[in-house]
Chains A and B, each alone.
Chain A
Amino acid sequence: MIEATGLRKSYRVGRGRSASTVEAVRGVDFAVGRGEIVGFLGPNGAGKSTTMRMLATLIRPDGGRATIAGVDLLRTPAQVRRQIGFVAQASGTYEDSTARRDLVLQARLYGFGKAEAQRRAEAAIGAFQLDDFADRRIRTYSGGQRRRLDVALGVIHSPQVIFLDEPTAGLDPPSRVRMWQEVRRLRAEGMTVFLTTHYLDEADTLCDRVSIIDGGLIVAEGTPSDLKREISGDVVAVDLTRADVVDDAVDTDLPVATKLLAEQPYVRSSEAVDGTLRLYVDSAATAIPQIMRTLLGRGIEPGAIEARRPSLDDVFLAKTGRSLEE
């Protein structure tokens, strides 16, 4: 449904001598199949939104090519627009308007006649459960209500592909779960969903496939479970920030402990994140006693020690050397 190869985009920032070029997206390749929910996971500034805005015909790529629903993005962007819906990070609604007015306008902008536009607005109000507030001013809506309206606006013309830029950023947990249900419903209706997120749980539970993007490049791609399986074994998180000791304990303990444990034969690799040491081991059950023994042997007392399955953050950490949770 979406095929992109070598998409690139750079911006000039600043003026005159201080001007420089920022490469926002440095050549990304990916494909999204019909009916899939695919997510771009990455930190802010990784190039997620820029990629999405290129695909949504809002900015022109500097290079590369893409087809969406079989239509060439660069040659016929106008035809692409008929196949896609786009929900930006900024809501894009008029504060003084109402859900119903904006929905009707959006349908009419897609070329539908008045009666059909009203019918579609009505259907969207039902499907996204906007009934209670459809005729109230948008400025009175909660974050979750607003976001549901945004998505309703994005799919008013029943597109084949819907692009969602950070669909749940800033929402409270119940609203996020609600939004996930809406996204799954859209897929059940036959839409292909492409979204960006910087939430690990969102990528993990909602997406069929995830592309991890950092610094304008895709660094890993696959189903969440495949990605996590690449990090075989277990993760043991050793918390070296101890409550009963002053903060500078971290400074002394962490480098020492990191070096010490990295040398142990049962530790395959390790990363330090905010005073916590993540150790990648074959089996947590056998590693934990050995870790404890090693640390205590040097007089280092860990605050807490936890074993868990690898998360997408471990994948991100392994690929980029940084944690998304920082």
Chain B
Amino acid sequence: MKLVRDTWLIFQQEVGLMVRNPVMVAFSLAQPITYLVLFAPFLKVVMVDQGASSYADAYRIYVPGLFVAMGLFGGLFAGYGLLSALRAGIIDRCRVTPVSRTALLLGRALMHVCLNVVQAVIITLVALPFGLRVHLGNLLISYALLSVMVLLSTSISYDIALLVRNENSLGVLVNTVGQPISLLAGVLIPLVLAPLWIQQVAFWNPFAWATNGMRALFNGQIGQPVVWQGALIMIGLAAVSLVWSSHLFNREVS
């Protein structure tokens, strides 16, 4: 109960600060929308062999990929915020109060979840006029899956940040880790087009499962096993990573 209350307090504070910086929020939307407008038309051409004959088909393939890319990178840079809060003494100021330690991390992570879901909603709305059609129930499940992904990538970022304690190393690590994971998840071009060995490597990439699950949802195939498999993998990993980052965080932070 205390954890929920404290998490809510931190979440409110972080969201409040985000809202006070609308310019930053607008900028963080610019990249996904650019991809949506400038990349999806390419995809339509490339995917003709796969039966993508219209913009609607292209967006049905690309929007889920974009969600995964956001879910991955949206969280991976969260460590910067944590490091700057640590440096500014904000974390110490909170840690001398009886507030739940885990809430200090979880409230921040949930802010990133919230931000990414809002962005996903905006992207969905932008894609609608281009012909994207998706079942509302499936769309909501996609948002839920996106939320878990952001929770996972955020906590991975916190893990790295708490281990390296330095913005430069964090940036290098996040890019080195994030790039292959996103490519091997087929966020830009579906893995069905990839050579066999890439598909075999991608089998071990949890985010590839999430991407396939997300695409199945957008295709209206909620019954496909990859939907629950992808969701389960994400939930499991997010739980493990969150426990680990809160363990790292609760160690002496000085």
Chain A min CB distance to B19 (Å) = 10
CB proximity of A242 to chain B, nearest CB, Å:
46
User: Does chain B have a CB within 8 A of A140?
Assistant: no
Interface residues on B, range: 20 to 34
> Interface 1/0s, chain B 113-155, versus A by CB < 8 A?
0000000000000000000000000000000000000000000
- The contact of A110 among B13, B17, B97, by CB within 8 Å, is B97
A58 touches B96 (CB 8 A): yes
**A85 and B93 alpha carbons, distance in the complex (Å):** 9
Contacts A85-B96, A94-B17, A105-B13: A59 and B88 contacting too (C-beta < 8 A)?
Answer: no
Interface readout for B84-103 with A: 1 if CB under 8 Å, 0 if not? Answer: 00011110111111110000
CB of A96 closer than 8 Å to a CB of B? yes
Can you name the residue of chain A whose Cβ is closest to the Cβ of B254? A59
A90 touches B88 (CB 8 A): yes
Question: Across the interface, which residues of A come within 8 angstroms of B254, CB to CB?
Answer: 53, 58-59
Cα–Cα, bound, A95→B84 (Å): 11
**B138 CB → nearest A CB, Å:** 37
Complex: A88 Cα to B254 Cα, angstroms = 12
Q: Determine the chain B residues whose CB is within 8 A of the CB of A92 once the complex forms.
A: 88-90, 92-93
Complex: how many Å from CA A110 to CA B88? Answer: 20
Residue B21 lies at the interface, judged by CB distance under 8 Å to chain A? yes
Q: Taking the complex as formed, is B189 at the interface, i.e. its CB lies under 8 A from any CB of chain A?
A: no
* Contact A81:B9 (CB < 8 A) given known A58-B254, A60-B252, A91-B89: no
Q: Using a CB–CB distance below 8 Å, which chain A residues touch chain B? A: 53, 56-60, 78, 81-82, 84-86, 88-97, 101, 105-106, 108-111, 153, 157
> Which residues in B have some Cβ–Cβ distance to A below 8 Å?
6, 9, 13, 16-17, 20-21, 87-90, 92-99, 252-254
List 6 additional A-B contacts (Cβ < 8 Å) besides A60-B252, A86-B96. A85-B96, A93-B88, A101-B16, A109-B99, A110-B97, A157-B97
